[in-house]
Amino acid sequence: MRHWQEYFPRESRCPPVIYLDLWPTAPLLAIVNDPALCAQAVQQKSLPRSWQSKFLVSPLTKGIDLGSAGTDIAFHRLLRSQYAPAFSPKNLMAGVPALVEEASVFADCIRTLTTDNGTWGEVFSLEEKASALVFEVMARFTVDLHLGEQTNGHSALRTAILRQTGNLVPKMLTTLPRRSNPLYHLDVWRTNQKIKGILEPMIRSRFYSGDEMGLKYGRRTSLDVVVNAWRAGNRLQHSRRAKEAMINSALQNVKMFMLAGVDSTTASICFTLQLLGRNPRVLERLRAEHLEAFGPNLASTADIIRQSPEKLNTLPFTLAVIKESLRICPIALTVRQGDAGFTLTSDGASYPTESFQVQTGVWNIHLDPTYWPRVDEFLPERWLVAKGDPLYPVKNAWRPFEQGPMNCVGQELALLTTKLALIFVVREFDVEYGWEEWDQKR
């Protein structure tokens, strides 16, 4: 909605709520473009997630995942309590050595794409390199699975999940022909069987054994956490039928963590490096912070972080760079189910939500000069100024992982992975664009 004036010429600012009647192609939609109203819908009231969200990922998870559980507030609360400890600050810090290992491999892989005289070689896709890094990280954090994605290429698991991603289509009139095709459903089934054949044996083994996969590394995987929660439950949960249900639930959630984590974190890494390439002033300051924290010897960075992982929490400008990147290039939004008893209110105006899918207008809010002075500038400094400064962020206006009780459970892992990718890359490499060469290569 960067050009909202074309659609609302009589308004002095972008309307706080835009209603769209998309019948018969799609459900009624209300886009909320005001941070305070977004807070009413997802933080204060916390409307349940839209049924469309559950339908969208059902080919991959059958609707038995943490994201889909948001359609039932009570069930979501239960499921989130089971998985949240895996993404706690303490557990993430314990997992830093594994992250450092993968970030170091990420830098090594990029280094192989340079020439002996320090210039770039053949043009390559940064997204492909970043997604390999993140998929490996997610595999290790969820089930302690070492795939070698960055050095060996696409694993069978990653290939299958990417294929199933292509089968995630919303319930709309325009997708009806595809959803009605028996070959589509056959492909969904076959692909799920491939994924199940890889993941289920190790998940089943964890439920029937007493070992914790990630504990030997000082951390617990998300699977370890949910198995421990299951074992600590009442004995009725330990029946064979209940155990099989938990195994299936764990399988679906592992798949969802891999899909959602890879998509969001890959985008975060790529967008941040892109913006740094276009803003040398910011890049210079970021490099200075890393030089001060880790010294001039790039080869010693990994050991320094392994020995003192708390250093990762003392890089304010690095975090500011990532947050500003996510402001300019937000990676997600949420869609909630409107309710007859819930109305958004602002400045004496009421906005009903009954029968509407309520979407937070994250892109609109993040790029609205009403909330962000110098909105088109890449200014990490806005995240470091004191309250009262004109650049100080407006409350609830930054929503890349959404907010409230159903915000992204893995957002701290996403930020940590992005931070480490920057630490291992920005002091050694300059980002250059090769669109013409890329077009020729393709």
Total residues found in the chain within this entry: 442
End-to-end distance of the chain based on CA atoms, in angstroms? 32
Burial class (CB in 10 A: 0-12, 13-18, 19+), 196: middle
408 known member of a binding site: yes
Inter-residue contact 309 to 217 (CB < 8 Å): no
Of 394, 321, 277, residue with least CA distance to 33: 394
CA 425/CA 276 separation, integer angstroms: 11
Inter-residue contact 432 to 120 (CB < 8 Å): yes
Helix (H) or strand (E) holding 316: helix 316-328
CA 367/CA 377 separation, integer angstroms: 10
Inter-residue contact 33 to 17 (CB < 8 Å): yes
CA 211/CA 442 separation, integer angstroms: 47
List, in order, residues 6 or more apart from 356 with CB less than 8 Å away.
19, 27, 28, 29, 30, 338
Please write down the long-range contacts of 392-396, taking CB distance under 8 Å and 24 or more positions apart. 394/35, 395/35, 395/36, 396/35, 396/36, 396/38, 396/39, 396/43
Inter-residue contact 4 to 17 (CB < 8 Å): no
List, in order, residues 6 or more apart from 172 with CB less than 8 Å away.
25, 26
Phi, psi of 114 (to 5 degrees): -105, 165
Q: Which residue type, as a one-letter code, is found at position 83?
A: Y
Q: How far is CA 164 from CA 58, 61, 190, 226, 255, in A?
A: 10, 10, 10, 25, 10
Q: Which residue type, as a one-letter code, is found at position 97?
A: P
Q: Within 10 Å of residue 256's Cβ, how many Cβ atoms?
A: 19
Q: Which residues are known binding-site members for heme?
A: 408
Q: Which residues are known binding-site members?
A: 408
